[in-house]
Amino acid sequence: GAVVSQHPSRVICKSGTSVKIECRSLDFQATTMFWYRQFPKQSLMLMATSNEGSKATYEQGVEKDKFLINHASLTLSTLTVTSAHPEDSSFYICSATSGGPYYEQYFGPGTRLTVT
């Protein structure tokens, strides 16, 4: 299957700082990328959908000013958690797809964020 990388895989930061997570599609052009968050023993929660070159579409309840998403190219999307707080500690996963509804999406390995 297609390869999606995510960096960093793990990050620990202090409360009030910002953290940037990168998601890259390595062997295909990702027209759409998705950002998810997953708390322990809970299901994936879609945070936002981003299409290359346009503003991200955020799910209800997700603050766009806190979770900044940039999809600058067909292979790179970034999620910046601004002014992180301990309750933002979670597993953040991106996924990417190259086409429409019949195309599979491939997930990055995830980033485990811990805010102290």
Partner 1 sequence: RKEVEQDPGPFNVPEGATVAFNCTYSNSASQSFFWYRQDCRKEPKLLMSVYSSGNEDGRFTAQLNRASQYISLLIRDSKLSDSATYLCVVKGGSYIPTFGRGTSLIVHP
- Of the candidate residues 25, 32, 77, 78, the single one contacting partner 1 (CB under 8 A): 32
DSSP state of 38: E
Q: 3-state class of 18 per DSSP?
A: coil
Q: 3-state class of 12 per DSSP?
A: strand
Within 13 Å of residue 102, how many CA atoms lie on the same side as its CB? 0
Q: Which two tokens stand for residue 54?
A: 């346009």
- Of the candidate residues 23, 25, 34, 74, the single one contacting partner 1 (CB under 8 A): 34
60: contact with partner 1 by CB under 8 A: no
61: contact with partner 1 by CB under 8 A: no
- Of the candidate residues 29, 53, 109, 114, the single one contacting partner 1 (CB under 8 A): 109
For partner 1, the closer of residues 11 and 44 by Cβ is: 44
11: contact with partner 1 by CB under 8 A: no
Q: Which residues are within 8 A (CB) of 104 and not within 5 positions of it... i.e. 6 or more apart?
A: 1, 2, 97
Interacting residue ranges for partner 1, rule: CB under 8 A: 1, 31-32, 34, 43-44, 46, 49, 91, 93, 95, 97, 100-102, 104-110, 112
